[in-house]
Amino acid sequence: MGKVIVHIDLNAFFARAEEIRDPSLEGKPVAIGHEGRSGIVSTCSYAARKFGVASGMPMFMAKEMCPQLIIKPVDFRYYMGLSRLFIKFVKSYTPIVEVASVDECFADFTEVVKKVEDVPAFFKKMQDDLYKKTQLKCSIGVASTKFLAKMGSDYQKPMGLTFIRKRDIPNILYPLPLEKMFGIGKKTAPRLKSVGILTIGDLAARCESNDRDLMNILGKFYLVIKDWINGRGSDVVISEPEEQKSIGSSSTFYHDTDDFNEIKYMFEQLAKEVSSRAIKENKMGSTIQIVVKEASFVVHNKSITFDNPTNDYQTIYRTAVKLYEKNFLSLNVRLVGITLQNLIDPRDMAIQISLFDYEKAEEDNRTRLLINELNRKLKKDSLMRASEAKPKEKKK
């Protein structure tokens, strides 16, 4: 018997989060992002999608297509809180959970379903229970590999439940347009179409014939694609280690981007999240690492280690931006992340610290948490510690 791999994808997550916070938005066209000519739609509700609004679209264009569109700014900390509830819910069923992004995860249910008589009913109840407990809606894909599970969760939205066995591949996947295939990016799809590959079925047929044009376009990725389409591929779900050795957060952009301001904004939100978690867990780290995933799925890591551990938001943010500016400024980016590594408890630090200094550090941590919470409620970074304020320039 093969493994039972499940991919769970929260439906229109950011938009749904705003509906949970403000139920009057439910059923209305809602877009998440920044207003103005430079604003981009991060995601949108299904009601907005009926007007043609889509992720990655300029906000002014979305407003033209849907004049009644309600625009909500990104509240990343709030979304991360809901995301943690979601992951905690999934882990109540199985400990083997791999967080793929803020709104999706893979989970290994192989041992769990051995005790289940009606597997479809089991996953339908799980889906319904998530909604009852968190008000989050999700689609679930169940298969023997991670690729097929991911394709299954994408197949029916919202609140879909799709099983894809190896024998189901021709009926479910082959008719789908090429753009629907996970792993085929916006740059690769036009090249494949130029040689007559329009559907996943076309791609499968050309893989079977060892087509040279296809090999040239996909390169080393060709064998991976061939395995995926034939029901092979990875079935290993990499769960987080029991002992926490780092605190990190990452996010996938809803559209590939090289906009430095947009990337800086995401680093800022991630830094706040990492700092807040470190403070709550009474941890400090001496290494700050960033991860950058290109649109081509190539992943890069860069880090820097300090003599003195930190959990300060400003330090984490500034360091992340400097690492990015120095190493990755010209890249077209799909995902960015920040990780605070080499964690220690301040009480276990080997250096000598006076009681006054330790209590001051504790007070600073509580102050940062309070400021972060107030800024979240104000929906802007209006508050900061006096020591962080820039001194006013003297008039000449």
Q: Where are the domains of the chain?
A: 1-164, 170-240, 246-388
For residues 285 and 277, give the distance between their C-alpha atoms in angstroms, rounded to a whole number.
Answer: 12
Are domains 170-240 and 246-388 of this chain identical in fold? no
**Residue 5 in contact with residue 235, Cβ under 8 Å?**
yes
273 in active site: no
State how far the Cα of 166 lies from the Cα of 285, in Å rounded to an integer: 45
**Number of alpha carbons in the 13 Å side-chain half-sphere of residue 85:** 18
**CA dihedral for 364, 365, 370, 373, sign (positive or negative):** positive
Query: How many other CB atoms sit within 10 Å of the CB of residue 241?
Result: 8
- Whole-number Å distance between alpha carbons of 235 and 271: 32
Residues of the chain under the 70 pLDDT cut: 1, 241-244, 346-396
**φ and ψ at residue 19, rounded to 5 degrees:** -65, -35
Q: Write the pLDDT tens digit of every residue in 271-282.
A: 999 999 999 888
pLDDT score, position 381:
60
- Topology annotation, domain 246-388: Dna Ligase; domain 1 (3.30.1490)
> Are 191 and 210 spatial neighbours (Cβ–Cβ below 8 Å)?
no
Superfamily name and number for 170-240:
5' to 3' exonuclease, C-terminal subdomain (1.10.150.20)
pTM score > 0.85 for this model? no
| 3-class SS of residue 137 | coil
- Among 18, 64, 98, 104, which one carries the catalytic annotation? 104
Predicted local distance difference test score (pLDDT) of residue 77: 78
- Please give the CATH superfamily to which domain 1-164 belongs: Reverse transcriptase/Diguanylate cyclase domain (3.30.70.270)
Residue identified by tokens 């996970």 is 182
Please list, residue by residue across 50-65, b when 16 or more beta carbons sit within 10 angstroms of its beta carbon and e when fewer do: ebebbbebebeebbee
Give residue 380's region: left, alpha or beta (phi > 0; psi -120 to 50).
Answer: beta
pLDDT of 349 reads 45
Q: Cα–Cα distances in Å, from 285 out to 309, 346, 359? A: 5, 10, 19
Q: Residue 308 is encoded by which pair of tokens?
A: 């003195």
> If DSSP states are collapsed to H, E and C, what string results for 188-257?
HHHHHHCCCCCEHHHHHHHHHCCCHHHHHHHCCHHHHHHHHHCCCCCCCCCCCCCCCCEEEEEEEEEEEE
Rounded Cα distance between 146 and 238, Å, is 11
* pLDDT for residue 345: 72
**What residue spans of the chain are helical by DSSP H?**
13-21, 46-49, 59-65, 76-91, 110-113, 119-134, 146-155, 169-172, 188-193, 200-208, 212-218, 221-229, 260-280, 313-327, 355-378
- Supply 321's token pair: 């931006």
